[in-house]
């Protein structure tokens, strides 16, 4: 379809280049427009320095207002009214999903989150997303005016500088203060790991008996030039690895060329995070572990013998 | 805050993702006929409300939107300690989309004002859109505090500690407020035989569109679900084994080198 506008918004600057690219692909070549709304809440001029938008709306929110999705949605709604887009596109991050939901409630429109792919069709916006905790894919058509889609983005793509400076429009702040007071915000102490971008991952589950044994897994990862990933229990329950390593429905989505699952049963909520891997290896002592049906190469055995043998084989010993 | 605290919890009777099966010939899942159960995070939501009531007194009301069979989710909530249960149902539209569910809950809140805190799951097990709680909040003009990992009630206000991908926040809002929770917030109790028995005897109040002042068009779907299908997995499923661990390991390394996935 041509001649349509997609309005892009994200609270997070790093999501914007990926959203702009997805929006541009959806409007196609020709007269379609991509417009961008960014938060100007003291967090810096993010967005206006990014290429790919025909117009930029700066949402002039009070200092540091992104903790209040109501304020953000009110401001975004003003940009939406000005842009009159066929589709409003946000990132399916936690903040993005909440902003999308509040905007949809305020405008009584269709919304979908966790969207894997979307297309503008005459009847509505056709989307594909995971359902049933990642067991299945659902296809839906969002009907009515002003649909909102929160799309899943892979690894961040670098921003390209604008070829011509975009037109900039300031959206005044909403009247009145928000109803949520920010008491404290801390940035998580992350190891800076970007597991989404990893080429190879050695991932570990509850087959590991104790934290100290992680050294085995780390050794294998080093020998393979891989980063270490894990299942939810290892990060969220045992706390042996930080959340950056956690793969699955509620963790990170990865698509490495090689995924080695060590002592992982293969619960659907884990599989959904690694399904896009090119080659999958499973090492498990249980020959009936569900992960085996989702793997290219399977080794039935005790990880405590298989992993050290692999490390030796890789080092040529 | 005036009087004892009124806690509401939205619970969904969703598709059981473990028992749901795709039709072999078409690869699609018939969602309307699939077995159902209470959505996982909604148990955490009920547990959190019940813990607050155990500390401060008040009442916990569980609400669900769906066909009469979704009373099962209300029975679960009652067995976990909820005091009252409300079913919102429209015989003409047994399964509403997200817009319909949010508007149904908002309509109940408008016609039965008076909650102080309203708990939702962060996402439902089957659809996981994470939109219903904040959407209801937008409909009724309440603050939404999502992704709570810790909730403490103060005098007429609530303090929430919550978690984003890269940040942690502590936020505060006055009553009434909507809160969404995930599985990290607590470990839901296991219902006892007695609590289940008691729950089975409790009255469930039922409301339809006319009692909530809703026009049929208010609940009309804005999303058309075309199909739910299970993507094909085409994995090799090659077992690698050798006479001893060293041979097996070499076999695997050779296979991965042939695939070109090792440096
Ligand atoms: C709403 C929801 C969201 C969730 N989100 C996620 C998510 O994002 N990510 C996630 O991973 N999980 C998630 N889960 C949890 C998921 O359902 C599983 O519980 C989890 O993935 C299991 O982790 P695991 O495979 O490490 O442990 P287990 O299921 O306990 O499996 C351990 C495996 O190790 C094998 N094993 C044991 N000892 C050895 C040995 N010595 N050598 C070799 N193999 C051995 C066993 O045979 C078994 O297969 C979620 C659950 C819910 C309800
Ligand atoms: N039919 C329903 N009835 C009551 N509450 C619901 C219903 N659907 C969703 N919810 C609530 O909204 C939360 C998020 O659902 P979802 O937006 O589908 O991910 C759930 O955890 C429930 O608390």
Shared-domain flag, residues B127 and B195:
yes
Terminal Cα distance for chain B, rounded? 64
How far is it, in rounded angstroms, from Cα A295 to Cα A306?
17
- Is B126 a pocket residue for ligand 2 (Cβ < 6 Å)? no
Q: Clarify whether residues B119 and B48 are in a common domain.
A: yes
Kindly state whether residues B246 and B141 are assigned to the same domain: no
Same domain, residue pair A126 and A163: yes
Domain boundary among A171, A203, A234: A171
For residues B251 and B204, state if they share a domain: no
Domain limits for position A270: 195-315
Task: Please indicate, yes or no, whether residues B245 and B171 belong to a single structural domain of this protein.
Answer: no
Nearest partner of B178 among B125, B121, B218, B126, judged by Cα:
B121
Q: What is the pTM of this model?
A: 0.88
Whether residues B166 and B246 fall in one domain: no
Give distance in angstroms: CA of A233 to centre of ligand 1: 7
What is the number of domains present in chain B?
A: 2
Residues A86, A126 share a domain: yes
Ranges of chain B whose pLDDT falls below 50: 1
Distance CA A165, CA A52 (A): 10
Q: Which helix (H) or strand (E) holds A230?
A: strand A227-230
Q: Are residues B142 and B246 in the same domain?
A: no
Q: Does residue B257 belong to any structural domain of this protein?
A: yes
Q: Are residues B75 and B167 in the same domain?
A: yes
Rounded Cα distance, B225 and A297, in Å: 36
CB-based contact B177:B119 (threshold 8 Å):
no
Q: Cβ(B165)–Cβ(A66) under 8 Å?
A: no
Strands A136-142 and A125-131: antiparallel
Is A187 contained in some domain? no
Cα torsion B115, B117, B122, B126: sign: negative
Asked if residue A61 lies in contact with residue A83, where contact means CB atoms within 8 angstroms, the answer is no
Query: What angle, 0 to 180 degrees and rounded to 10, lies between the N-to-C axes of helices A214-224 and A303-314?
Result: 30
What is the CA angle A14-A18-A19, rounded to 5? 100
Within this chain, do residues A111 and A201 fall inside the same structural domain, yes or no? no
Same domain, yes or no: B10 and B80: yes
Whether residue A229 is found in the same domain as residue A266: yes
Do B262 and A185 make contact, defined as CB atoms within 8 angstroms?
Answer: no
Using CA atoms, how far apart are residues A27 and A273, in angstroms rounded to an integer? 29
Q: Are B29 and B59 within one domain?
A: yes
CA B157 to chain centre: 24
| Ligand 1 site, CB within 6 A | A 205-207, 231-233, 248-251, 263-265, 267, 269-270, 273, 284-286, 289, 302-304; B 40, 125, 183
- Residue B247: give the domain boundaries: 235-263
Same domain, B60 and B156: yes
* Long-range CB contacts (within 8 A, 24+) of B252-260: B252/A281, B252/A297, B252/A299, B252/A310, B252/A313, B253/A310, B253/A313, B253/A314, B255/A297, B256/A258, B256/A279, B256/A281, B256/A297, B259/A279, B259/A296
Question: B176 preceded by cis ω (within 30°)?
Answer: yes
Q: Considering only CB atoms, which chain A residues are within 8 Å of B109?
A: none
Residue B263 in contact with partner chain A when CB distance is under 8 A: yes
Residue B226 lies in a domain: no
pLDDT in tens, chain A (317 residues): 457 999 999 998 889 999 999 999 999 888 899 999 999 866 544 555 678 899 999 999 887 889 999 999 999 999 999 999 999 999 999 999 999 999 999 999 999 999 999 999 999 999 999 999 888 999 999 999 999 999 998 777 888 887 888 889 999 988 888 999 999 999 987 666 789 889 999 999 999 999 999 999 999 999 999 999 999 999 988 999 988 899 998 889 899 999 999 999 999 889 989 998 999 999 999 999 999 999 999 999 999 999 999 999 998 75
- The reply to whether B224 falls in a domain is no
Which B residues, 182 through 221, put their C-beta within 8 Å of a C-beta on chain A?
Answer: 182-184, 221
B225: in domain:
no
B20, B174, B245: residue with CB nearest A306? B245
CATH number at residue B114: 3.40.50.620
* B168 and B244 fall within a common domain: no
Q: Of A210, A308, A203, A215, which Cα lies nearest the Cα of A264?
A: A203
Whole-number Å distance between alpha carbons of B249 and B246? 5
């Amino acid at each position: 379809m041509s001649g349509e506008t997609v309005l892009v918004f994200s609270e997070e600057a790093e999501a914007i280049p990926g959203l702009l690219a997805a929006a541009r692909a959806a409007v196609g070549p020709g007269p379609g427009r991509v417009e961008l709304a960014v938060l100007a809440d003291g967090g810096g001029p993010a967005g206006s320095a990014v290429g790919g938008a025909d117009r930029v709306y700066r949402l002039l929110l009070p200092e540091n207002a992104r903790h209040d999705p109501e304020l953000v949605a009110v401001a975004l709604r003003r940009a939406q009214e000005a842009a009159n887009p066929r589709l409003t596109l946000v990132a399916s991050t936690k903040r993005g999903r909440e902003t999308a939901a509040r905007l949809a409630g305020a405008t009584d429109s269709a919304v979908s989150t966790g969207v894997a792919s979307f297309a503008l069709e005459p009847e509505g916006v056709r989307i594909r997303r995971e359902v049933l905790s990642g067991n299945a894919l659902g296809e839906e058509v969002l009907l009515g005016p002003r649909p909102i889609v929160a799309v899943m983005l892979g690894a961040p793509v670098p921003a390209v500088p604008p070829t011509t400076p975009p037109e900039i429009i300031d959206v005044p702040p909403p009247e009145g203060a928000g109803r949520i007071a920010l008491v404290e915000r801390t940035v998580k102490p992350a190891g800076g790991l970007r597991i989404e971008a990893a080429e190879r991952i050695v991932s570990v589950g509850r087959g590991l008996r104790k934290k100290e044994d992680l050294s085995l897994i780390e050794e294998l990862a080093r020998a393979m030039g891989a980063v270490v990933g894990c299942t939810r229990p290892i990060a969220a329950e045992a706390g042996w690895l930080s959340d950056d390593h956690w793969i699955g429905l509620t963790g990170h989505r990865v698509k490495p060329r090689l995924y080695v699952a060590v002592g992982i049963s293969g619960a659907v909520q884990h599989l959904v995070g690694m399904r896009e891997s090119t080659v999958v290896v499973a090492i498990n002592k249980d020959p009936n572990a569900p992960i085996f049906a989702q793997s290219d190469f399977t080794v039935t055995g005790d990880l405590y013998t298989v992993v050290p043998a692999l490390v030796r084989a890789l080092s040529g010993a | 805050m005036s009087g004892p605290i009124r806690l509401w919890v939205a619970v969904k009777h969703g598709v059981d993702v473990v028992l749901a099966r795709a039709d072999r010939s078409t690869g699609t899942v018939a969602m309307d006929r699939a077995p159902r159960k209470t959505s996982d995070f909604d148990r955490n939501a009920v547990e959190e409300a019940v813990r607050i009531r155990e500390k401060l007194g008040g009442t916990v009301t569980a609400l669900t939107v769906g066909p009469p069979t979704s009373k099962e989710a209300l029975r679960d909530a009652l067995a976990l300690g909820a005091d009252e249960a409300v079913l919102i149902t429209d015989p003409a539209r047994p399964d509403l989309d997200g817009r319909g569910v949010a508007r149904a809950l908002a309509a109940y809140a408008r016609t039965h004002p008076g909650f102080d805190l309203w708990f939702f799951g962060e996402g439902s097990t089957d659809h996981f859109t994470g939109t219903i709680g904040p959407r209801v909040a937008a409909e009724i003009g309440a603050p939404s505090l999502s992704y709570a990992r810790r909730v403490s009630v103060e005098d007429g206000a609530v303090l929430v500690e919550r978690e984003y991908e890269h940040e942690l926040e502590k936020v505060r809002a006055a009553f009434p407020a909507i809160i969404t929770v995930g599985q990290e917030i607590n470990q839901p109790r296991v219902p006892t035989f007695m609590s289940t028995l008691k729950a089975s005897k409790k009255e469930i109040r039922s409301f339809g569109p006319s009692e909530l002042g809703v026009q049929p068009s208010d609940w009309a779907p804005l999303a058309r679900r075309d199909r739910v299908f299970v993507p094909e997995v085409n994995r090799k499923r090659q077992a690698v084994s050798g006479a001893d661990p060293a041979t097996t390991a070499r076999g695997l390394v050779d296979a991965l080198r042939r695939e070109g996935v090792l440096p």
